[in-house]
Structure 1
């Protein structure tokens, strides 16, 4: 059966799902549900569809052109006077943003352990970050692409079971769930949350990660159907999990007037309502989310910057490992700096939301390069959908900046 074959081909899409279902997503979705109930589910539906649209483009680029996004941009802008300023902008944004993102991933995983142990202890928090960083560093240094892919697929499956089980236990209002998905509203003070929800789902660095992973996994047009199915199945499942997290928070916190400052708080507050089972499920899911995302952020940065720099083949692997490990190390330093984990996590998602229009514009530019993709360039439907996503993300980002400047 073709559908079963598609499931066997799940791979690069699972990396993307593992990347965006991190502690940032868990935390932002928890706060969205706790503060606004089901009303912002439409933003996650939009973000999931947008992610599928853009990640399909990235997967198609890697599969057909056998190039990563960084490599394609380097070739496309080879003779442009804006080449190095644009590359510098991308490099700084990716490295800085992913280092902050990594700090949020590690902090979120540590919060998961705290939730399981019910011990908000600084020593436990610190040692959890150090141990997870050591595991992630070992995997990044020694693991091959296929080994990393398999590990992330297991973690994504584990997260799915944990968060879907918690969703079922919380008994959400299905009518409000459907209304929130298909009736766009923007309650007072919700704009930052909407941008964060989009930024935590349509993650700019995933566009680089997916193209490079597809290049390693598939070769040519014969593999394109499998690549597309991989994107739809994996990312669709990831988006559904994110919606379940919002709904769980809406059912267990918003509807009862409870508050949450983090996903770990949500796990603790679920205990008197549903017993310790929910606390363990949510805490374990948060830990898995942190570990999976702590691998993908360094990998994506290394793929993008190595492709842009284009070093000599003899030292390429060393530079790749050096970049990925440096992102991990800087993330550990941020996570242990004393800043509140919730602020690190939300800040990273907010930055992603503002960076998205820039990277999306680069992707759309590349996907219309006939010399690169031939008959597999974007058609009018793909360009139209991509333009809508670009304009919506740009409009939200601009409005947020103007509001911050007290213009609105």
Structure 2
């Protein structure tokens, strides 16, 4: 019966829900408003890179039945290297997600304010945090997966409907997708588009989630189907946002600084429906990331330190709860803790190429047997590693003010 199992969305949907957050919506909006369709190719590339990395993370998780943090703890024996990686993971995934959680809740609030103007803005982060907390506290992976699948479905419909209503110029869209170019002043935006899609904490999230859902190595084919559907779907959503902003604002004297600006500005151009769909998409993106960011951090910490009890374990719950509380405070008070973001940005810049290198190494180990990387997988993975290294260097350079 295994061969006849129908396709179903799974852990890769969590990955899509995680990288389509408020940061991605803002970056994609500004890319389209400032450079039209010209940077769509960067998203196409970033989705290909994400598929390569997430497939290796999923393969490692299913075959070893361990999360990425557990694999690091078991495969890396040198104390100095292990503690160095643990420190980076703590800074980039746990501390960083605590801060970025504020942005997730703020983004969801912006969308909800557009939808329900009479709601008191300051109370919205608390309401959203309570909703996220109830879902995570239930401690059932299947429930979390279903909620995130629903949110991805809602944001897919919302952003794709916005895309249709803004009437894209198809010839320019295909040119931007298939003919790579970097307009003057667009280099940083290209890096930002790739960097908001290829993110290290999704590797921890995915490896742990597939180990929860599938328990036999032959189930890897189901995980791959999930990756090949869910991750490109996330990419299509990002592309739809870029194209919508390009259709609506590129070449027009309309200042767009955020996704909320885009939602409000669409109304006089394309009617209430376009503005409504954009607000729904922004809300769904914020709430989905508000669920996945604490979850990924808890998975990472649980793997590194061997927390017991799974999703219902005390230490696991304490980890995501702390991140949720910190994010709620940041979103409610409007804080922007620059120093912590600076540290997290540097840690992310170091962690992404290191995690990509670890995955390449781990997926070539004898323990994986027939599921080790083939030569062509190593060739593609090394290319992705080079991109990850470039992104890491750029992230660190930005944090220290070099460019």
Cα displacement (A) at 1:79 = 4.0
TM-score, normalised by the number of residues in structure 1:
0.91
Q: Does 1:220 align with 2:216?
A: yes
The answer to whether the 8 A contact 1:24-1:346 is kept is no
Which whole-Å deviations, capped at 9, do the CAs of 1:51-93 have from their partners, x for residues lacking one? Answer: 1111111111121111111100110113443221221121121
Give, in whole Å, the separation in 2 of the partners of 1:368 and 1:210. Answer: 19
Q: How many residues are matched?
A: 401
* Equivalent position of 1:383 in the other structure: 378
* Equivalent position of 1:394 in the other structure: 389
Q: Does 1:274 align with 2:273?
A: no
Cα displacement (A) at 1:159 = 0.7
* Equivalent position of 2:228 in the other structure: 232
Aligned mate of 1:209, from 193, 205, 225:
205
Give, in whole Å, the separation in 2 of the partners of 1:278 and 1:139. Answer: 30
Q: Where in structure 2 are the equivalents of 1:1-400 lying within 5 Å?
A: 5-8=5-8, 10-117=9-116, 124-311=120-307, 317-339=313-335, 355-371=351-367, 373-399=368-394
Aligned residue for 1:219, secondary structure, equals coil
Moved more, 75-84 or 394-403: 394-403
Change (3 A) 1:400 1:95: closer
Give, in whole Å, the separation in 1 of the partners of 2:164 and 2:73. Answer: 47
The answer to whether the 8 A contact 2:349-2:393 is kept is no
Which whole-Å deviations, capped at 9, do the CAs of 1:263-309 have from their partners, x for residues lacking one? Answer: 11101100011111111111111111111111111111001111101
Give, in whole Å, the separation in 1 of the partners of 2:57 and 2:341. Answer: 26
Change (3 A) 1:353 1:275: farther
Change (3 A) 1:124 1:314: closer
Aligned residue for 2:261, secondary structure, equals helix
The answer to whether the 8 A contact 2:307-2:316 is kept is no
Give, in whole Å, the separation in 2 of the partners of 1:57 and 1:375. Answer: 14
Which whole-Å deviations, capped at 9, do the CAs of 1:75-127 have from their partners, x for residues lacking one? Answer: 011344322122112112111221122111101000101222467xxx83321
Runs of 5+ unmatched residues, structure 2: none
Runs of 5+ unmatched residues, structure 1: none
Give, in whole Å, the separation in 2 of the partners of 1:80 and 1:406. Answer: 32
Moved more, 60-69 or 350-359: 350-359
The answer to whether the 8 A contact 2:137-2:317 is kept is yes
Give, in whole Å, the separation in 2 of the partners of 1:346 and 1:275. Answer: 40
The answer to whether the 8 A contact 1:249-1:266 is kept is yes
Change (3 A) 1:27 1:340: farther
Change (3 A) 1:192 1:311: same
Give, in whole Å, the separation in 1 of the partners of 2:206 and 2:332. Answer: 30
Change (3 A) 1:166 1:50: same
TM-score, normalised by the number of residues in structure 2:
0.92
Query: Runs (4+) of structure 1 moved beyond 6 Å?
Result: 1-4, 344-351, 403-408
Give, in whole Å, the separation in 2 of the partners of 1:320 and 1:403. Answer: 33
Cα displacement (A) at 1:242 = 0.6
Give, in whole Å, the separation in 2 of the partners of 1:351 and 1:177. Answer: 35
Change (3 A) 1:265 1:353: farther
The answer to whether the 8 A contact 1:53-1:386 is kept is yes
Give, in whole Å, the separation in 2 of the partners of 1:381 and 1:136. Answer: 41
Moved more, 83-92 or 160-169: 83-92
Give, in whole Å, the separation in 2 of the partners of 1:346 and 1:232. Answer: 34
Aligned residue for 2:313, secondary structure, equals helix
Change (3 A) 1:210 1:179: same
The answer to whether the 8 A contact 2:98-2:327 is kept is yes
Give, in whole Å, the separation in 2 of the partners of 1:203 and 1:56. Answer: 14
Cα displacement (A) at 1:3 = 11
**Over aligned residues, Cα RMSD in angstroms?**
2.8
